[in-house]
Chain A
Amino acid sequence: MKYLDEFRDADLVKIVLDKIHRVTKHPWVIMEICGGQTHSIMQNGIDQLLPPEIELVHGPGCPVCVTSLELVDKALAIASLPNVIMCSYGDMLRVPGSGKDLFSIRASGGQVKIVYSPLDAVKIAQANPDKEIVFFAVGFETTAPANLMSVIQAQSLGLKNFSVLVSQVTVPPAMHAILASSENRVQGFLAAGHVCSVMGYHEYLPIAAKYRIPIVVTGFEPLDILNGILMTVEQLEAGTFEVQNGYNRVVSKEGNLPAQALIKKVYMQCDRNWRGIGMIPMSGWCLRPEYVEFDAETRFSVENIKTKESEICIAGQILQGIKKPPQCPAFGTLCTPEAPLGATMVSSEGACAAYYRFARYEKEKS
């Protein structure tokens, strides 16, 4: 497949790997921001091929993982209401709330539909004028344009039965939070390629300068990831801390300007709770007041939500790169993809699920 096969080519991979082995002289901790990158690293076994000096830790860039428990519980409560059809991306359905997930709401009679695009939810709203359609708009900057497009379309169609439950988060504040933590181990970042395809990478320049840390915009195929690692290690060994673009077939410095303009039009910055991590100031987006009629949180009064998180789960430490999944006492025993205690065990982008699916054998060997 064009644009994929060449970035999975074993011979090219070997050339980059050899370079990484040659340039690596010191131990380095590098965080890949995005869950899609974590998935690719584990799926391809990239971590096994790196020099032992390089430790990859897995970042918070998994929307399923960081969507706050309060919002998951709110989604569950709204989905349980009669006359509501809750539309969601597929992998949100298994995310545990305080005791339930959207699958179990569906089994109890709630209407929950998997959509592949937010615009499908708008179509469902058009087709069901007597029902309330709610789209669970989760995600990072990557999904923001598509998510908000559903609001714009619903508005232009004059739909009164469509709303969105927004759980939109952004990467730079999370990087600040990780780097400012006293427990931080991260020395270099692989920035998330698709986030940067929307936002560009100029917003990482102040982070690299402030924390004196190299940041390399990185894609998702094995060659992309290895190239990102190589560029980061070269900087670390040379003592530089620049923002570099290792994914220039997709990402430009300024990003997708029309998409950014729409984001500014529909969303505004707000504080967000990150599951397992806590509140990060101004780390997300919510609807601007002029779009309040599309805000499911205002439309449905689902008060008295009491959240209850698993006491054993260490997802928060994993999402900040402080611990790795096998260090959790519940990993693979009390917590599995079939019965997840935390959201990181749910999505294929979640670090725990990726370790469980692809690297369990390593743990068993050791």
Chain B
Amino acid sequence: MTAEERPASIQGAVCPMPLRHYDKIVMGHGSGGRMTQDLITQCFAPYLSNPALDAGNDYATLSTNINGPLAVSTDAHIVSPLIFPGGDIGKLAVCGTVNDVAMSGAVPLGLTASFILEEGLSTQTLVEIVKSMAESALEAGVPIVAGDTKVVERGKADGLFISTAGIGHFPKIFAIGGAEAKPGDVVLISGTLGDHGIAVLTARGDLAFETQVKSDVAPLNHMIQQILAVAPHVHVLRDPTRGGLATTLNEIAEQSQVNITIDEKTIPVKPAVQTACEMLGFDPLYVANEGKLIVIVPENEADAALAIMKKNTYGIDACRIGRVIESPAGRVLLKTQIGATRVLDVMAGEILPRIC
């Protein structure tokens, strides 16, 4: 049959209807028009619904009957892969900001979340991540009250970036902060170190081995309030995220101008994490955590704080790891497992795997 003999296709004569159901994010989803509305109503609203968000304004109104200061924190989240054992970028975004606000002793009131979506991102992945954010927000008891989405061309982002901000109030005022560590204080850690970093690294599939390690990403605000109820004179609360325990303790030692000496023997590390670190030449003390808490507390409240942490799901492996002393100020020292003492330094740049 020649071209002339072929019957004309009727479809060619009608104006094509734009597709309404995309399985991938396209530039139009960031236009601010109908497609953006569709994206919000289909991918976000069903999962994140709460009165402040549902009001549909460009702002959210939060009510608090507590006078006094507010705690505010903001965080940008990037992670590859977007979904990893134990969590995903959404859970990371919610827990990260909830935890940052909660570390002040504040009770988080609400979060905002901005999404930078890369053209081509699977909408199913997006929905899965939004659902996970909703679950974490529910567990933390902190609603996501405002949000925004933008779409960038393919290649200009890595799937999805999420930026969150959080606000909290203080039903009770505490003297908590990085500069508050005092000689004589006890250093507690809420559990095993390095789980998140190793879970994410192995999930990338670059390594010739796999682990069963799950990220520890978790909201810690409830545990913090439980600790403060029994140990109201806690001096420092901080989550050892990027840079790990070593880097975070150095920040505290520097801010408080004290020495922190920790005992290597007491530091909890899962055998699988230890093994992965040995193979890669990493030190678990520098590997990231997303659901761990350093508590620096006066000796007389340390046991109570530890006991209450151990009762919480996220603090079962909590233990004492060291002490705050006067000098050398600004330094963290590690008592090694064979009984020597050395400097525990901050991380220099990126952690790099060793050659051999």
Interface residues of A (CB under 8 A from B): 1, 4, 8, 10, 13-14, 36, 42-46, 48-49, 63-64, 89-94, 114-117, 120, 138-140, 142-143, 194, 222, 336-338, 347-349, 356-361, 364
B7 touches A (CB below 8 Å)? no
- A363 and chain B: residue at smallest CB distance: B343
Chain A hits for B265, CB < 8 A: 10
Q: Which of A8, A64, A138, A347 contacts B337 (CB 8 A)?
A: A8
17 A–B pairs (Cβ distance < 8 Å), ordered by A: A8-B338, A13-B338, A43-B283, A44-B342, A46-B340, A48-B342, A49-B339, A89-B353, A89-B355, A90-B353, A90-B354, A91-B353, A94-B352, A116-B208, A142-B356, A222-B338, A348-B354
- B279 and chain A: residue at smallest CB distance: A116
Determine the distance from Cα of A7 to Cα of B126 in the docked complex, in whole angstroms: 48
Determine the distance from Cα of A89 to Cα of B281 in the docked complex, in whole angstroms: 12
Which listed segment binds A: B184-192, B225-233, B290-298, B328-336?
B328-336
Q: Are B336 and A117 in contact (CB under 8 A)?
A: no
For chain B, which range describes its interface: under 10, 10 to 19, 20 to 34, or 35 or more residues? Answer: 20 to 34
Q: Beyond A44-B340, A46-B338: 9 further Cβ-contacts under 8 Å?
A: A91-B355, A138-B355, A194-B356, A338-B348, A338-B349, A347-B355, A356-B345, A358-B343, A360-B345
How far is the CB of B341 from the nearest CB of chain A, in Å?
6
Q: Are A10 and B353 in contact (CB under 8 A)?
A: no
Q: Which of B208, B278, B349 contacts A117 (CB 8 A)?
A: B208
Q: Are A114 and B355 in contact (CB under 8 A)?
A: no
Q: Which of A8, A91, A357 contacts B343 (CB 8 A)?
A: A357
How far is the CB of B127 from the nearest CB of chain A, in Å?
30
Determine the distance from Cα of A220 to Cα of B291 in the docked complex, in whole angstroms: 33
Q: Are A357 and B349 in contact (CB under 8 A)?
A: no
Determine the distance from Cα of A120 to Cα of B274 in the docked complex, in whole angstroms: 23
B175 touches A (CB below 8 Å)? no
CB under 8 Å from chain A, chain B span 298-355: 328, 331, 333, 336-343, 345, 348-349, 352-355
Q: Are B271 and A1 in contact (CB under 8 A)?
A: yes
B207 touches A (CB below 8 Å)? yes
Q: Are B339 and A13 in contact (CB under 8 A)?
A: yes
* Top 4 A-B residue pairs of the complex, sorted by shortest distance between their CB atoms: A45-B340, A90-B352, A337-B348, A90-B353
Known A337-B348, A359-B342, A359-B343: A44·B336 in contact at CB below 8 Å: yes
Chain A hits for B341, CB < 8 A: 45, 48, 361
- A340 and chain B: residue at smallest CB distance: B348
Chain B hits for A194, CB < 8 A: 356
Q: Which of B271, B328, B339, B354 contacts A347 (CB 8 A)?
A: B354
Chain B hits for A336, CB < 8 A: 348
Chain B hits for A1, CB < 8 A: 271, 274-275, 278
- B206 and chain A: residue at smallest CB distance: A116
Q: Are B348 and A114 in contact (CB under 8 A)?
A: no
Known A1-B278, A337-B348, A357-B343: A139·B338 in contact at CB below 8 Å: no
How far is the CB of B257 from the nearest CB of chain A, in Å?
15
